[in-house]
Amino acid sequence: MAFSSQHGGNIIEAATMMGVDADLLIDFSANINPLGMPDSLKRAITDNLALAERYPDVEYRALHQALANHHQVPKEWVLAGNGETELIFNLVQQLAPRKALLLTPGFAEYRRALARVGCEITDFHLSEEQGWQPDESLLCALTPDLDCLFLCTPNNPTGLMFDKPLLLAIAHHCRENQIALIVDEAFLDFLPQESGLIPHLSSFTQLYVLRSLTKFFAIAGLRLGYLVSADTATVGCIRERTEPWTINAFAALAGEVILSDQTYIEASYRWLSTEQPRLFNGLNELHGIKVWPPRANYIFLRCDVAGLDLQRALLEENILIRHCANYPGLDASYYRVAIKSPTDNDKLLGALQRVLNYKDDAGE
Ligand SMILES: Cc1ncc(COP(=O)(O)O)c(C=O)c1O
């Protein structure tokens, strides 16, 4: 039976398919910080339960101010959403591009948002031979007939960062050719040294940066993301046309609290600086597995063992990983795993050893 989920984190579907309790599965398919929701936020929520009884501020003034302060940009540049996903759809609806370029493999929701507005989509294929990284040829693909380009850095599922000079060259090119450049920085918070494109927004008014707080701060169920752009006309139009109160009061409170929780942020950096190389090296040593060096909190890999459905085999071990067969440009040999706690990462490595050795022993 195939496991068909379009996204990571669908443990209910996987558990139902396996006939096990979802709580038994260790979820490596969604890239969520294993430190869990910050204690500062747990306290803020329990201290403010009464917020559930009234409407949130329909303009989310305190939230937008907190986000603007965090990035040192004008408040008018910022628009929060019920997860970044809401903003991908609302931004595309507002820009209404007729022709867009997408990099493959990439996050599925760009394509769905563009398809919803009837946009014609051209794919720019990243190749394994080039290490899944774009080069200057991407600039040639940015023809003036395009209205929109989506980029994701670090990219999902490859976990690789765009080269900064190339990214800026693309931004210049898009500005000259009036192409809306949408840059998804959903995982950038995991890279303490990287500031991304927000500091460059004043130079590029057709540039839209999307951020998610659901991964780094482990609030995927609470949901919060935001858009930042110097194109205040577009940001303002989306603000006007979005349904009221799409962000619940606790998610709005989260945005006011978590960005200044330095204890949590530092602890997350410490965890990742240890577990990222450890899991990468552990995977790299496994026979039949090829891994790409990760920049964020997940690792992209290929399994070269013929006839082995790695996701299925690991599900037998109560471990759920993300298969990447449904990403355009990839096939069933590619997978993505989250970097989790030391204990869970050891369980993944142990289960992989068993699964791969079993295949070796079986002489397949
Ligand atoms: C690259 C990328 N962008 C955006 C999102 C959506 O984030 P959110 O949970 O904030 O809607 C995801 C979720 O997996 C993602 O992988």
DSSP letters along 75-127, please? Answer: GGGEEEESSHHHHHHHHHHHH--SEEEEEES--HHHHHHHHHTT-EEEEEE--
Q: What is the mean pLDDT of residues 328-336?
A: 95
Which residue is closest in CA terms to ligand 1's atom 2?
186
Supply the residue whose CA is at minimum distance from atom 3 of ligand 1.
186
Q: Whose CA is nearest to atom 12 of ligand 1?
A: 186
Q: Find out whether 75 and 65 touch, Cβ atoms under 8 Å.
A: yes
Query: Ligand 1: residues whose CB is within 6 Å?
Result: 83-85, 107, 152, 156, 184, 186, 212, 214, 220, 225
Q: Which two tokens stand for residue 244?
A: 């009221």
Radius of gyration over every alpha carbon of the chain, rounded to an integer in angstroms? 21
Q: Cα(212) to centroid of ligand 1, in Å?
A: 6
Residue whose CB lies within 8 A of the most ligand 1 atoms, among 29, 89, 215, 324, for a mutation test: 215
CA–CA separation, 357 and 287 (whole Å): 9
C-alpha 286/C-alpha 348 separation (Å) is: 12
Q: CA 251, CA 257: separation in Å to the nearest integer? A: 10
Separation between Cα atoms, residue 104 and residue 106, nearest integer Å: 5
CA dihedral 336, 169, 202, 86 (to 10 degrees): -30
Q: Which residue has the higher pLDDT, 283 or 16?
A: 283
pLDDT at residue 2 is higher than 90: no
Question: What does pTM read for this prediction?
Answer: 0.95
CA 329 – ligand 1 centroid, Å: 19
> pLDDT grade, residue 281 (50/70/90)?
very high
Q: Which residues contact 330 (CB under 8 A, 6 or more apart)?
A: 105, 157, 324
Q: How many whole angstroms separate alpha carbon 362 and alpha carbon 359?
A: 5
Task: Give CATH for domain 11-37+262-361.
Answer: 3.90.1150.10
Amino acid (1-letter code) at residue 223: R
DSSP letter at 161? P
271 — alpha (psi -120 to 50), left (phi > 0) or beta? Answer: alpha
Q: Is the pLDDT of residue 295 over 60?
A: yes
Q: Domain boundaries in the chain? A: 11-37+262-361, 39-260
Give the mean model confidence (pLDDT) for residues 56-78. 98
Here the tokens at position 50 are 């009464």
Q: What is the mean pLDDT of residues 232-243?
A: 98
Q: Which atom of ligand 1 is nearest to the CA of 213?
A: 10
Asked whether the beta carbons of 63 and 247 are under 8 A apart, the reply is yes
At 357, is the pLDDT very low, low, confident or very high (cuts 50, 70, 90)?
confident
Band the pLDDT of 207: cuts 50, 70, 90. Answer: very high
81 and 226 Cβ atoms separated by less than 8 Å: yes
pLDDT band of residue 316 (cuts 50, 70, 90) is very high
Confidence of residue 7 (pLDDT cuts 50, 70, 90): confident
Distance 354 CA to ligand 1 centre (A): 32
Evaluate if residue 274 carries a pLDDT over 90: yes
pLDDT tier, 23 (very low <50, low <70, confident <90, very high otherwise) = confident
Count of residues making up the chain:
364
For ligand 1, pick from 84, 112, 189, 211 the residue to mutate: most ligand atoms within 8 Å of CB.
84
> What is the Cα–Cα distance from 329 to 257, expressed in whole angstroms?
39
Kindly report the average pLDDT of the chain as a whole number. 95
Q: Where are the beta strands (DSSP E) in 133-270?
A: 148-152, 180-184, 207-212, 225-228
CATH number, domain 39-260: 3.40.640.10
Q: What is the pLDDT of residues 156-174, one digit of tens each?
A: 999 999 999 999 999 999 9
| Candidate from 156, 183, 189, 217 with most ligand 1 atoms within 8 A of CB, to mutate | 156
Residue owning tokens 């979005």: 242
Among residues of the chain, what percentage have pLDDT more than 90? 91
Calculate how far, in angstroms, residue 101's C-alpha sits from the geometric centre of ligand 1. 19
* Contacts of residue 5, Cβ cutoff 8 Å, sequence gap at least 6: 13, 14, 29
Whether the pLDDT of residue 1 is over 50: the answer is no
Judge whether residue 34 has pLDDT over 70.
yes
In this predicted model, what pLDDT tens digit does every residue of 88-127 receive, in sequence order?
A: 999 999 999 999 999 999 999 999 999 999 999 999 999 9
Give residue 210 CA to ligand 1 midpoint distance, Å.
9
Q: Are 3 and 311 in contact (CB under 8 A)?
A: yes
Which helix (H) or strand (E) is 270 found in, with range?
helix 262-284
Least confident of 12-16, 294-298, 329-333: 12-16
Confidence (pLDDT) at 8 = 72
Mutate to test the pocket of ligand 1, among 5, 212, 248 (most ligand atoms within 8 A of CB): 212
Q: Region 270-274: what's the mean pLDDT?
A: 98
* Ligand 1 atom nearest to CA at 107: 1
Separation CA 222–CA 252 (nearest Å): 9
Query: Exposed (0-12), middle (13-18) or buried (19+): which is 187, by Cβ within 10 Å?
Result: buried
